[in-house]
Structure 1
Amino acid sequence: MSRKNNRKDRSGVVFSTNPDFDYEYNSEEEAATLPPGQQQLKVMLDKKKRGGKQVTLVEGFVGSNDDLKALGKVLKSKCGVGGTAKDGEILIQGDFRDKVLEVLQANGYKAKKVGG
């Protein structure tokens, strides 16, 4: 099974007749997390594809998934609601734009409200 899993990491070559050929493996490098003062975060209200429910969306985070999840956990606990953090975005359930903006700026992030 481990041999099968390695095939997905190879980039573009299926088979080679060259005996000296070595596969190039895709290595996903995590981006280094920028310090809070250099982050350009956007806080907005979103309700698309959510069955009419409102969520506060924080976009623009540059860094590792662990740091993103840690920031998401702080925001969720300060707002007292649920949410998720993945793909460079943090979703907070409900309309908490002002509270999220206040918490981000208190932690040293450059954040601004986008949209209505």
Structure 2
Amino acid sequence: MTDNDDPFAGIPDDLTADLDRAEQILAIRVERRTYNKPVTVIEGFDPDAVDVKALGTDIKRAMGAGGTVDDGTIEVQGDHETRVREFLVERGFEIA
């Protein structure tokens, strides 16, 4: 592939990362787990465009909650749907 074929040719890397984020459409939902405890689930990440593990750490820290990252899905303990949505939109993600 030549520079003429690359739609991002000449665009700085930090801006192409923003474009990669904007092209992803994430889904956020709250599930009830054992003992009816809520868990916020975020799905739809492109693992080639986003460091999901680092983003999961940032989200958990911002929410002050525990959680896990597994197979490109972030799970945060508690019902944080609104706050997680705001957090991700501020970072350039699109939410379904």
TM-score where L is the length of structure 1: 0.61
Report the Cα offset of residue 53 of structure 1: 1.2
Larger radius of gyration: 1
Higher strand fraction (1 or 2): 2
- The count of residues paired between Structure 1 and Structure 2 equals 78
1:7-26 superposed matches below 5 A: none
Identity percentage over the alignment?
A: 37
Q: Tell me, which stretches of 5 or more residues in structure 2 are unaligned?
A: 1-16
| Runs of 4+ displaced beyond 6 Å | none
Give the number of the structure whose residues are more often helix, by fraction. Answer: 2
Residue in 1 that maps onto 2:25: 40
C-alpha separation between the residues in 2 aligned to 1:97 and 1:39? 18
C-alpha deviation, 1:51, in angstroms: 3.5
Relative to the length of structure 2, the TM-score reads: 0.73
- Local SS of the residue matching 1:61: coil
Unaligned runs of at least 5 residues, structure 1: 1-32
